[in-house]
Amino acid sequence: MRVLAAMSGGVDSAVAAARAVELGHEVIGVHLALSRMPGTLRTGSRGCCTIEDSMDAQRAANKLGIPFYVWDFSERFKLDVVDDFIAEYQAGRTPNPCMRCNERIKFAALLERGLSLGFDAVCTGHYASIVDDGAGNLELHRSLAMAKDQSYVLGVLNAKQLEHSMFPLGATASKDLIRQEARDRGLSVANKPDSYDICFIPEGDTRDWLKDFVPTDPGKIVDTEGNELGEHDGHVGFTIGQRKGLRIGKPAADGKPRYVLEIRPKTKEVVVGPEAALEIAELSGARYTWCGKAPEAPEQEFACEVQVRAHGDTVKALAAVVDGELRITLVEPLYGVATGQTAVVYLGTRVLGQMTIDSTRSKVTSGV
Amino acid sequence: MSVFLDHASTTALRKTAKTALNDALEMLGNPSSVHSQGRTTRELLEASRDALAQACGANRSEIIFNSGGTEGDNHAIKGIYWKQNQQDPTRRVIITSPTEHHAVLDPVSWLAANQGAEVHYVKLLRNGMLDFDDLERLIDQHSSQIALISLMWVNNETGVITDIPRVTELASKHSIPVHSDAVAAFGHVPINFAESGLTAMSLSGHKVGAPIGVGALVVARSAKPASLVHGGGQERSLRSGTMNYSMAASFAAAAGEAVAELGKEMTRVASLRQKLEQAVAQIVPDVIFTSADAERASYNSHMILPGTQSDALLFLLDQQGVCVSAGSACQAGVLGPSHVLIGMGYTQQEASACIRVTLGSTTDQSDIEAFTAALAKIYPVALQATPA
């Protein structure tokens, strides 16, 4: 196969590319320039698309003896990921930009470009596995290294995208093994620190970063009964379940901490309440996709597990498509889920599908 | 074996340059030392200065050896601006063009951002040639406030030749110093510093078959631009630092040979380029040779392939073993639209669909054939490639 290895400049994608080469594929390394200012140097804990990352990726490609190119996806990235991220926060939701990037850039724009240039697959360093179900259908599964599992952020992939994807790290038991392999292969990125945070927010402070794009728009912090508890200088950047930075002077009657329960962009209100009120009973959303083969009868309720954060716990649930929406009834509790987050539905280790959460129903119905 | 048609980016090391370098590397002695060893290397340095001066029509004392074109451009622009400004603080205007190399554009913008310079860009015609009416208008308008005019002799992307003596003649009315980035011109078109009327001219070694890392700023005897590098006072006190006689010798050897062969070589590559462009037009019926009707250097063919993207073309050609280039890439390796084509009035889309094919001393008919065969193969794919 002709394989396009997306190389971020990190250790995972470098080892993934190395394994693709070893499998006998014709591999070409591509670094995606995603920043509007690709010439910038790293500032915080990470920064995709910096000079260092691009050079690290190139050095790795040279070591593997594969051609290497930098492709500019900065405009697409700005439109599809960064602008979407800002708009979602403005609408009072909490988006997952990594997921958007996989959905619209890596396995869409890059894959389409690769296919049109004669490639068969995109290879990345994600920790996830693609498995054939025996009947010719491809399924996405969790990686063997559960601590690093990234199947959640790949939940957006559809059957066609799975056909053209390659995740060579899925069967490796731990990241330490990947680092060891990188050292053995003489890759200079073997000891490069893990990246975390959002790549376009190098300092890691989302709320602070958003200030540059969203004007200050003061509003009230209220409890569930509408009593005013304090003020905020803009609802954008608050997230459901948030406890810190609320700046409420008056303590709660029971002396316990209060959490953000709801963000109301229209009235600029941020609603806070006790932890118990964060418990969610049901999630639903109209924007859902199946990862690989769709269930035979999705309108009939079926048992599954659901995960709502990249590294969150998985809880038992019942799911069904009702009136064009995927509705997930939780059997085990989840706390502090924001609209805009993605719920990924699992059947054991298999990713069955995902949805962007449009609404949540609290377990606690009356104001507490 | 790859087909190298990117000689404007850097070209093959000439044997004579390699020999000169190797011989010089066997020597020992700082050219500034007073002892016999120092005198030996000094003699080599000065003989190299003579040879280079002869090759570009300058006086030997006008040759200031340096590290290459970017240094020369920075030195000339900042050095002349500072000097002019010191003598007459009202001289703050710099005139240049939007299609200059970044080694000119960036120091000029830096002077504007940090030192109060006022920059005016001369308009260009659609074919890349300078709009002399506009230049004359700008000179008349700003006259004695102009500190410096900097206009390149040959454009590094399109190969368009600017009539430098005509520029200096217009500038002379108001005693305006003129600098020219002659990096893409030297060794490729006839140039003569003495006849040009220039105050300063930047040259680079690796564009004529010397190694990367050596160049010269030719500075008229009458001019004394401020120095960027202070120290031991070498090179007329314009560029301090131990003099790199080995590289100077190599540069002089390459330049001498390039200029000696120039007439014959221009005819040879012009004929190859004609064949190349005819073949490309067969494959890409709507191809635009951006400066075909302008006076341009014979080793350069710059083309827009409508409906394609430069980075896809470069990628696909590279896959076929063919090395060409497009606009300039940033440090991280991202290819942007050609600022030269934008400056000539083309759209962003057109400026992102170009490639530059440049011929050199090692290019022959087989390279042209290999290029056209590769282009025929990849052009349909490039047309279909999804834009990034």
CB contact under 8 A, A39 and B335: no
Q: Would you say B176 and B149 are in contact if contact means Cβ atoms under 8 Å apart?
A: yes
Distance separating the N- and C-terminal Cα atoms of chain A: 59
Share above pLDDT 70 across residues of chain A, in percent, rounded to a whole number: 94
Q: Would you say A206 and A60 are in contact if contact means Cβ atoms under 8 Å apart?
A: no
Q: Would you say B380 and B14 are in contact if contact means Cβ atoms under 8 Å apart?
A: no
| Mutation for B interface: A50, A71, A75, A105, most B CBs within 10 A | A71
Chain B environment of A71 (Cβ under 8 Å):
311, 388
CB contact under 8 A, A76 and B333: no
CB contact under 8 A, B334 and A50: no
Which chain B residue is nearest to residue A119, measuring alpha carbons? B385
Chain A environment of B308 (Cβ under 8 Å):
none
| Mutation for A interface: B334, B377, B379, most A CBs within 10 A | B334
Residues 6+ apart with CB under 8 A from B279: B368, B372
Q: Would you say B20 and B244 are in contact if contact means Cβ atoms under 8 Å apart?
A: no
Q: Of B60, B82, B327, which Cα lies nearest the Cα of B219? A: B60
Q: Is B323 a catalytic residue?
A: no
Residue A180 DSSP code? H
The average pLDDT across A107-134 equals 95
Range(s) for CATH 2.40.30.10 in chain A? Answer: 278-362
Chain B, residues 343-382, CB within 8 A of chain A, namely 381
Share above pLDDT 90 across residues of chain A, in percent, rounded to a whole number: 62
- Rounded distance, CA B263 to CA B267, Å? 7
The average pLDDT across A181-189 equals 95
Q: Determine the pLDDT at residue A200.
A: 84
Q: Give the architecture (CATH level 2) of A278-362.
A: Beta Barrel (2.40)
- A124's tokens: 């990345």
Which chain B residue is nearest to residue A54, measuring alpha carbons? B332
Q: Are strands A342-347 and A350-356 parallel, antiparallel or unpaired?
A: antiparallel
| Predicted confidence (pLDDT) at residue A48 exceeds the cutoff of 50 | no
CB contact under 8 A, A116 and B335: no
Phi, psi of B125 (to 5 degrees): -80, 165
- Rounded distance, CA B5 to CA B320, Å? 13
Q: Determine the pLDDT at residue B120.
A: 98
As assigned by CATH, the class of the A2-184 domain is alpha beta
> What torsion do the CA atoms of A246, A247, A251, A256 make, to the nearest 10 degrees?
30
Among A49, A109, A116, the residue with its CB nearest the CB of B384 is: A116
Q: Would you say A327 and A359 are in contact if contact means Cβ atoms under 8 Å apart?
A: no
- Rounded distance, CA A284 to CA A176, Å? 38
Range(s) for CATH 3.40.50.620 in chain A? Answer: 2-184
Which chain B residue is nearest to residue A50, measuring alpha carbons? B332
- Rounded distance, CA A74 to CA A81, Å? 10
The average pLDDT across A202-216 equals 82
Helix (H/G/I), strand (E/B), else coil: B367: helix
Q: From the centroid of its chain, how far is CA B373?
A: 30
ipTM over 0.85: no
CB contact under 8 A, A113 and B330: no
- Rounded distance, CA B99 to CA B340, Å? 4
Sorting pLDDT into bands at 50, 70 and 90, what band is A47?
Answer: very low
Angle between helices B69-87 and B102-115 (to 10 degrees): 30
Q: Determine the pLDDT at residue A214.
A: 85
Q: How far is CA B268 from CA A1, A183, B120, in A?
A: 43, 52, 39
- A104's tokens: 């619209």
CB contact under 8 A, A113 and B387: yes
Least Cα separation, residue B107 to chain A (angstroms): 18
Q: Give the architecture (CATH level 2) of A215-273.
A: Roll (2.30)
- Rounded distance, CA B149 to CA B155, Å? 16
Q: Determine the pLDDT at residue A45.
A: 41
Q: Determine the pLDDT at residue A42.
A: 46
CB contact under 8 A, B332 and A71: no
Range(s) for CATH 2.30.30.280 in chain A? Answer: 215-273
Least Cα separation, residue A356 to chain B (angstroms): 26
Q: Determine the pLDDT at residue A37.
A: 57
The full DSSP string for B270-331 is: HHHHHHHHHHHHHH-TT-EETTTTS-B-TTEEEEE-TT--HHHHHHHHHHTTEE-B-S-B-T
Which of A280-284, A309-313, B335-339: highest mean pLDDT? A280-284
Q: Would you say A239 and A254 are in contact if contact means Cβ atoms under 8 Å apart?
A: no
Sorting pLDDT into bands at 50, 70 and 90, what band is A367?
Answer: very low
Q: Determine the pLDDT at residue B299.
A: 97
Would you call B89 an interface residue with chain A, using a CB distance cutoff of 8 Å?
no
Would you call B331 an interface residue with chain A, using a CB distance cutoff of 8 Å?
yes
Helix (H/G/I), strand (E/B), else coil: A366: coil
Which domains does chain B possess?
A: 3-11+262-381 (3.90.1150.10), 15-260 (3.40.640.10)
Among B332, B384, B387, the residue with its CB nearest the CB of A70 is: B332
Helix (H/G/I), strand (E/B), else coil: A53: helix
- B235's tokens: 């090179």
What is the CB neighbour count within 10 angstroms for residue A207?
Answer: 16
Phi, psi of A115 (to 5 degrees): -60, -40
| Mutation for B interface: A54, A72, A106, most B CBs within 10 A | A72
Q: Are strands A359-362 and B3-4 parallel, antiparallel or unpaired?
A: unpaired
Torsion over CA: A283, A285, A290, A294 (sign): positive
Q: Of B294, B295, B299, which Cα lies nearest the Cα of B258? A: B299
CB contact under 8 A, A113 and B316: no
pLDDT along chain B (388 residues), means of 10: 93 98 98 95 97 98 98 98 95 97 97 97 96 98 96 97 98 96 98 98 98 98 94 95 98 98 97 98 97 96 95 94 84 79 94 95 97 97 82
Least Cα separation, residue A69 to chain B (angstroms): 8
- B49's tokens: 């200065």
Chain A environment of B336 (Cβ under 8 Å):
72
CB contact under 8 A, A72 and B311: yes
Angle between helices B164-172 and B132-142 (to 10 degrees): 20
Residues 6+ apart with CB under 8 A from B111: B77, B78, B81, B94, B117, B119
> Taking an 8 Å Cβ-Cβ cutoff, which residues of chain A contact chain B?
28, 31, 33, 38-39, 49-51, 54, 58, 67, 69-76, 109, 112-113, 115-118
- Rounded distance, CA B357 to CA A178, Å? 43
Tokens 């010089």 belong to B24
Q: Would you say A328 and A301 are in contact if contact means Cβ atoms under 8 Å apart?
A: no
Would you call B384 an interface residue with chain A, using a CB distance cutoff of 8 Å?
yes
